[in-house]
């Protein structure tokens, strides 16, 4: 219905409602003079601008100046209230206008907006009838709603819906008789005159009410309390005026247009321009007692004073902060300008460009032309970019990588073969194949005068020293060393780099390697290459092809750099446990050097010369404090650490030395405690104890703990000291005491050097019970049992194959297989069964054993998965042994794949299987003839004491396993074996 705009609440940054009254000729009241005196100096600085309206919800913040100027020009010395007829007090029925935000006080202007056409027409008609008066009443808040929760637009919509009696019930009873000063469209300017009270409703549309005109209660103008209160209000207003320029404008405008400035008008003025809420202002409007009204106004202006102080402190703090930051910024800018003028410093982009140019300048002659071209283009691009742009940081990082790479910089290689041999022998024992291959590489480099990068793949079980060999090779060649593991790597970008457009893009591992080592010919160790992963981001194994292909890596292209890099001088060393896991295209580019593992003799040398020495130094133990016998080391290797590598052996040696260190420390603490307790005894008593018991004590302790000491000599020494003490004077007692203390120190030092002996008898006290037992279960293998040789990832091992008869009957020939065997091994068993039947038919045509026997073939260690074709000849021999009731020769083991025609095919892991046979005390080994070359390459100490037979056909194995002489020697033992 109505939309009224008034000041909602006081805001320090926007004007408050300022309805004003025009001055009367007599404006010399005492209150006015007191208040105006505080404005004389301020008026000259701020001028006399008047605010005639307040900040409204619709943003209306001004009244047309033409109306005001015309009114002031026509009535420069008269009252601002236009005289009308009849008089204001004659209006007892008025049109009710609701005010939303604040009440209208007498003597103030207020602009409102009227949206209801009927109300607007009624106001226009009243003005034309020379009766321009209406009643302005503050609207009550909705009782069920929170007034602060509603926005201005929501409150206005609610006012539009209010009509008639509903609107009447929402109006405060006390309001203001308002003169309609002007109407511009839907904007109406009201001027407050006097207080009104609603008595009853006359009509609903538009809302018209009957009113009573209210007058202030009588008061004594000379009352001291009223005077004191009014002067306190004025004093507080003057204090507020010093801090708030907004209040100055209000006071100047009001004092310019008001007539007689009385106590009631002072109370109305203070309440009207304060920032109090509408209910507090309404309370002042309803108060007819002048003294109480002044008190209420005083409370409001006091609050304004506190708010002004807080505002001033906040403004001062912010101003100081801003001014300090601005001052610092200006000083920094001036300093930069001064330094730039003097040539002491350049801007960021120039400094960056200079840094990059300085970095690439020493390499310019060696740097490829296409790389120099890219660097120059990027430097020119960097000068044109803004430092705050994202492209600037991308270009800067790109130039940082380009200029940091070692273009054409190579480390000086050492081609001294003798020195390289010495270094390799210092770091590793054995590994003849690997050392020979490295020495060949060095020799070729020496003859050519330059080295060419190669790709060497070291394959072998864990713990044989593959990774540490790479470090030794780098030291022998005087190359920089860089290692990165590709185990589980599933992202191609780790090798080829990211595109520069991606956030957080980085070059690949190879570019990072070159930046870290600073040379273009390092030794790069690619660890665990057989464990490459494959994820959604591509196939890293395929990405490694370009890196490891000697024909391609001279022009390796990284996605981030986008320029080719020459990696042909890089020596790549890869490590793998199982080469079968490496993709064939990748394996084709490598030169595989197999490391089979260490035999017992090699492990003994490694433990004694390398592991024990490094472990002793790491534990802080002196060599003379510990002795580990050869028998203890041999027992440790045979019963605890049978793996092909020496990592587990190193762990056990560390365990031994840790326990020894604890034992030595405990002994030292006990010795220190004994020495301390001896020193804490009184001197005289200590001498007596020493004289009487020292000899026996020293003899007992030294005889048990000190090696090579003579108890009799020590006893005689203390006897001499005892005899001397009885004769010497008191002046010489101190010298004797010092001698005794030095003797005690020598005794303690001798105790701490006690040697701990670790031998085969007490080895279990340091490492626990043995883990392994002898691989050999039988001294003489019974009928149906044959020892085979197997290869595992941890080295070689012996494997028994057992066959027994379940039952016999006509036509019950069958074969049952157990032992957690793989498909290939199951097929080998079937092949062995077929071959055994054919051989038995040839040797003993009348023997129906296989046709009428249900057989059970088992491979012990049933919990261990087994697979492979190399057990074919062993299974065949086991079946024939049972069928002919002949055990095989003693101390024989065999391995080889057998075909249906009886041919023996080659197998792998010759060295591992030979080592396993030696460990089990085997004297005779049967290998396929095709493996003769592999056996000949073995070290002499591995082949020593073993009789090896190479066969092409199974009948040769038959003759070796079931010789007539063997059968005659053990024929009597066959019934017991069965």
β-strand pairing of 455-459 with 556-557: unpaired
**How far does CA 786 lie from the centroid of its chain?**
57
Burial tier of 833 (Cβ tally within 10 Å: 0-12, 13-18, 19+): buried
Number of domains in the chain: 5
Of 870, 881, 886, 889, catalytic: 870
Domain co-membership, 192 together with 77? yes
β-strand pairing of 133-138 with 174-184: antiparallel
> What is the torsion angle, in degrees rounded to the nearest 10, for the CA atoms of residue 532, residue 537, residue 541 and residue 543?
-140
Q: Residue 158 — very low, low, confident or very high, per pLDDT cuts 50/70/90? A: low
Domain co-membership, 374 together with 514? no
Q: Which of 604, 756, 594, 750 is nearest to 675 (CA)?
A: 750
DSSP characters over 603-632: HHHHIIIIIHHHHHHHHT--GGGEEE-HHH
Domain with residue 542: its CATH number is: 3.40.50.300
Q: Is 403 annotated as a binding residue?
A: no
Q: Is 464 annotated as a binding residue?
A: yes
| CA–CA distances in Å: residue 937 to residues 366, 911, 925, 932, 933 | 46, 9, 16, 9, 6
Q: Which of 179, 8, 191, 51 is nearest to 110 (CA)?
A: 191
pLDDT of residue 678: 52
**Cα distance from N-terminal residue to C-terminal residue, the chain:** 119
* 787: Cβ contacts below 8 Å, ≥ 6 apart: 776, 781, 798, 799, 800, 801, 874, 892, 893, 894, 920, 922
d(CA 52, CA 138): 20
Q: Is 626 annotated as a binding residue?
A: no
Domain of residue 917, residue span: 785-973
Domain co-membership, 793 together with 902? yes
Per-residue pLDDT reduced to its tens digit, 454-512: 788 998 888 888 888 889 889 988 889 999 888 888 888 888 888 888 888 889 888 99
Known active-site residue 316? no
* 521: Cβ contacts below 8 Å, ≥ 6 apart: 410, 411, 413, 451, 453, 479, 569, 570, 571
Give backbone dihedrals phi and psi of 362, rounded to 5 degrees, phi first. -65, -25
Question: Quick one: DSSP state of residue 930?
Answer: G
Domain co-membership, 586 together with 608? no
Whether the predicted pLDDT of 261 surpasses 90: no
Q: Please check whether residue 772 lies inside any domain of the structure.
A: no
Domain co-membership, 84 together with 113? yes
DSSP characters over 31-97: HHHHHHHTTHHHHHHH------S---TT------HHHHHHHHHHTSSS-SSPP-SS-GGG--EEEEE
Domain co-membership, 791 together with 909? yes
Domain co-membership, 507 together with 369? no
Domain co-membership, 97 together with 214? yes
Q: Is 465 annotated as a binding residue?
A: yes
Domain with residue 628: its CATH number is: 1.10.8.60
Q: Residue 706 — very low, low, confident or very high, per pLDDT cuts 50/70/90? A: very low
Which of residues 344 and 369 earns the better pLDDT score?
369
Domain co-membership, 624 together with 558? no
Per-residue pLDDT reduced to its tens digit, 883-939: 998 899 888 999 999 999 999 999 988 888 888 888 788 889 999 999 999 898 887
Q: Is 132 annotated as a binding residue?
A: no
Domain with residue 924: its CATH number is: 3.30.230.10
Q: Residue 964 — very low, low, confident or very high, per pLDDT cuts 50/70/90? A: low
What integer is the mean pLDDT of 222-229?
83
On whether the CB atoms of residues 569 and 452 are closer than 8 A, the answer is yes
Whether the predicted pLDDT of 847 surpasses 90: no
Domain co-membership, 479 together with 398? no
Q: Is 461 annotated as a binding residue?
A: yes
Q: Please check whether residue 333 lies inside any domain of the structure.
A: no
Whether the predicted pLDDT of 53 surpasses 50: no
Per-residue pLDDT reduced to its tens digit, 57-77: 333 333 333 333 333 333 333
Q: Please check whether residue 688 lies inside any domain of the structure.
A: no
Which of residues 22 and 49 earns the better pLDDT score?
22
Known active-site residue 913? yes
d(CA 278, CA 275): 9
Q: Is 460 annotated as a binding residue?
A: yes
pLDDT of residue 955: 92
Which of residues 421 and 12 earns the better pLDDT score?
421
d(CA 144, CA 686): 98
d(CA 335, CA 904): 90
What integer is the mean pLDDT of 819-848?
91
* 790: Cβ contacts below 8 Å, ≥ 6 apart: 796, 797, 798, 799, 866, 868, 870, 871, 895, 913, 916
Q: Please check whether residue 719 lies inside any domain of the structure.
A: no
The half-sphere exposure of 392 on its side-chain side, counting CA atoms within 13 A, is 11
Of the listed ranges 237-246, 374-383, 657-666, 846-855, the one predicted with least confidence:
237-246
pLDDT of residue 294: 84
Per-residue pLDDT reduced to its tens digit, 313-366: 888 888 888 888 888 888 888 887 887 777 665 567 777 888 888 888 888 888
pLDDT of residue 687: 37
pLDDT of residue 709: 39
Is cis: bond before 491, omega within 30 of 0? no
pLDDT of residue 801: 92
pLDDT of residue 590: 87
Q: Please check whether residue 779 lies inside any domain of the structure.
A: no
pLDDT of residue 656: 92
Q: Please check whether residue 945 lies inside any domain of the structure.
A: yes
Residue 902, SS3?
coil
pLDDT of residue 929: 93
Q: Residue 258 — very low, low, confident or very high, per pLDDT cuts 50/70/90? A: low
Of 115-119, 154-158, 345-349, 756-760, where does the model show the most confidence? 756-760
Q: Please check whether residue 336 lies inside any domain of the structure.
A: no
Of 747, 751, 886, 913, catalytic: 913
d(CA 205, CA 213): 23
pLDDT of residue 223: 83
Domain co-membership, 361 together with 275? no
Q: Which residues of 931-958 are buried (b: 16+ CB within 10 A; e: fewer)?
A: beebbeebeeebeeebebebbeebebbb
Which of residues 947 and 35 earns the better pLDDT score?
947
pLDDT of residue 130: 74
Q: Which of residues 594, 626, 643 is at a domain's end?
A: 594
pLDDT of residue 244: 64
**Percentage of residues in the chain with pLDDT exceeding 70?**
76
Tokens (6 digits) for 305:
């004073």
Q: Which of residues 638, 658, 678 is at a domain's end?
A: 658
> What is the torsion angle, in degrees rounded to the nearest 10, for the CA atoms of residue 600, residue 601, residue 602 and residue 604?
90
Whether the predicted pLDDT of 256 surpasses 90: no
d(CA 949, CA 404): 61
Whether the predicted pLDDT of 834 surpasses 90: yes
Whether the predicted pLDDT of 242 surpasses 60: yes
Domain co-membership, 942 together with 794? yes
Q: Which of residues 613, 642, 658 is at a domain's end?
A: 658
Per-residue pLDDT reduced to its tens digit, 594-651: 887 787 788 888 898 889 988 999 998 888 889 899 999 988 988 888 787 888 899 9
Q: Is 221 annotated as a binding residue?
A: no
Whether the predicted pLDDT of 814 surpasses 50: yes
On whether the CB atoms of residues 181 and 67 are closer than 8 A, the answer is yes
Which of residues 891 and 8 earns the better pLDDT score?
891
pLDDT of residue 359: 86
Residue whose pair of structure tokens reads 């103008």 in the numeric block:
221
pLDDT of residue 725: 40
Q: Please check whether residue 743 lies inside any domain of the structure.
A: no
């Amino acid at each position: 219905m109505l939309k009224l705009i008034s000041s909602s609440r006081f805001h320090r940054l926007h004007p408050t409602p300022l309805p004003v009254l025009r001055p009367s000729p007599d404006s010399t009241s005492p209150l006015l003079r007191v208040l105006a005196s505080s404005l004389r100096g301020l008026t000259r600085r701020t001028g006399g601008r008047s605010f005639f309206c307040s900040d409204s919800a619709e943003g209306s913040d001004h009244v047309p100046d033409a109306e005001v100027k015309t009114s002031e020009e026509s009535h420069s010395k008269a009252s601002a209230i236009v005289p009308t007829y009849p008089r204001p007090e004659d209006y007892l029925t008025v049109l009710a206008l609701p005010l939303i935000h604040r009440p209208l006080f007498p003597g103030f202007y207020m602009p409102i907006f009227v949206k209801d056409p009927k109300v607007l027409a009624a106001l226009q008609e009243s003005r034309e009838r020379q009766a321009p008066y209406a009643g302005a009443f503050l609207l009550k808040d909705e009782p069920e709603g929170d007034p602060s929760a509603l926005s201005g637009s929501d409150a206005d919509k609610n006012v539009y819906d209010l009509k008639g009696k509903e609107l009447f019930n929402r109006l405060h009873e006390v309001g203001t008789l308002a003169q309609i000063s002007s109407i511009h469209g839907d904007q109406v300017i009201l001027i407050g005159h006097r207080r009104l009270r609603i008595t009853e409703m006359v009509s609903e549309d538009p809302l018209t009410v009957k009113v009573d005109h209210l007058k202030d209660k009588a008061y004594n103008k000379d009352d001291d309390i009223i005077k004191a209160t009014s002067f306190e209000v004025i004093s507080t207003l003057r204090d507020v005026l010093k801090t708030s320029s907004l209040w100055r404008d209000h006071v100047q405008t009001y004092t310019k247009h008001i007539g007689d400035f009385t106590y009631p008008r002072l109370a109305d003025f203070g309440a009207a321009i304060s920032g109090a809420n509408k209910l507090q202002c309404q309370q002042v409007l309803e108060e007819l007692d002048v003294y109480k009204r002044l008190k209420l106004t005083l409370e409001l202006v006091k609050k304004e004073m506190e708010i002004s102080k807080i505002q001033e402190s906040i403004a001062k703090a912010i101003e100081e902060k801003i001014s300090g930051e601005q001052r610092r910024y200006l000083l920094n800018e001036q300093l930069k300008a001064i330094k730039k003028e003097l040539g002491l410093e350049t801007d960021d982009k120039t400094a960056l460009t200079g840094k990059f140019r300085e970095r690439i300048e020493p390499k310019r002659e060696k740097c490829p032309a296409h790389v120099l071209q890219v660097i120059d283009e990027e430097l020119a691009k960097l000068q044109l970019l803004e430092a705050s742009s994202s492209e600037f940081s991308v270009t800067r990082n790109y130039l940082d990588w380009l200029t940091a790479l070692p273009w054409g910089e190579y480390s000086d290689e050492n081609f001294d073969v003798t020195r390289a041999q010495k270094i390799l022998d210092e770091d590793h024992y054995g590994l003849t194949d690997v050392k020979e291959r490295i020495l060949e590489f060095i020799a070729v480099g020496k003859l050519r005068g330059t080295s060419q990068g190669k790709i060497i793949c070291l394959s072998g079980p864990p713990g044989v020293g593959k990774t540490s060999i790479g470090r030794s090779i780098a030291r022998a060649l005087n190359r920089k060393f860089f290692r990165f593991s590709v185990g589980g790597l599933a992202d191609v970008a780790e090798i080829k780099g990211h595109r520069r457009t991606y956030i957080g893009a980085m070059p690949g591992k190879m570019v990072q390697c070159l930046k870290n080592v600073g040379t273009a010919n390092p030794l790069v160790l690619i660890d665990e290459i057989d464990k490459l992963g494959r994820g959604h981001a591509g196939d890293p194994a395929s990405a490694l092809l370009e890196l490891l292909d000697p024909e391609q890596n001279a022009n390796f292209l990284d996605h981030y750099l986008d320029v080719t890099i020459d990696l042909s001088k890089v020596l790549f060393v890869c490590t793998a446990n199982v080469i079968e896991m490496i993709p064939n295209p990748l394996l084709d580019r490598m030169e595989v050097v197999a490391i089979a593992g260490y035999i017992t003799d090699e492990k003994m040398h490694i433990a004694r010369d390398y592991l024990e020495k490094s472990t002793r130094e790491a534990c802080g133990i002196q060599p003379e404090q510990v002795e580990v016998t050869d028998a203890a080391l041999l027992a440790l290797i045979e019963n605890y650490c049978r793996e092909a590598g020496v990592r587990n052996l190193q762990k056990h040696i560390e365990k031994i030395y840790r326990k020894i260190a604890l034992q030595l420390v405990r002994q030292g603490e006990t010795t220190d405690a004994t020495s301390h307790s001896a020193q804490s005894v009184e001197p005289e008593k200590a001498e007596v104890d020493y004289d009487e018991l020292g000899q026996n004590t020293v003899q007992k302790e030294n005889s048990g703990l000190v090696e090579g000491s003579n108890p009799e000599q020590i006893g005689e020494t203390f006897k001499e000291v005892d005899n001397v003490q009885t004769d010497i004077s008191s002046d010489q007692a101190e010298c004797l005491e010092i001698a005794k203390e030095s003797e005690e120190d020598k005794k303690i030092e001798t105790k701490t050097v006690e040697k701990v002996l670790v031998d085969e008898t007490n080895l279990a006290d340091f490492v626990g019970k043995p883990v392994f037992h002898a691989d050999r279960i039988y001294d003489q293998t019974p009928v149906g049992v044959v020892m085979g040789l197997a290869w595992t990832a941890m080295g070689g091992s012996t494997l028994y194959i057992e066959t027994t008869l379940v039952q016999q009957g006509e036509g019950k020939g069958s074969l049952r297989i157990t032992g957690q065997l793989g498909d290939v091994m199951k097929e080998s068993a079937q092949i062995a069964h077929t071959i055994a039947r054919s051989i038995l038919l040839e040797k003993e045509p009348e023997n129906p054993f296989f046709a009428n026997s249900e057989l059970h073939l088992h491979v012990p260690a049933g919990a261990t998965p087994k697979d492979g074709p190399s057990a074919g000849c062993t299974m065949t021999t086991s079946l024939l042994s049972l069928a002919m009731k002949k055990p095989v020769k003693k101390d024989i083991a065999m391995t080889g794949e057998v075909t249906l025609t009886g041919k023996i095919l080659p197998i792998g892991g010759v060295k591992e299987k030979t080592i396993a046979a030696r460990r089990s005390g085997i004297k005779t080994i049967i290998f396929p003839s095709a493996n003769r070359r592999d056996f000949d390459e073995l070290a002499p100490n591995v082949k020593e004491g073993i009789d090896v037979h190479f066969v092409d056909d199974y009948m040769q194995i038959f003759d070796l396993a079931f010789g007539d002489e063997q059968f005659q020697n053990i024929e009597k033992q066959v019934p017991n074996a069965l």
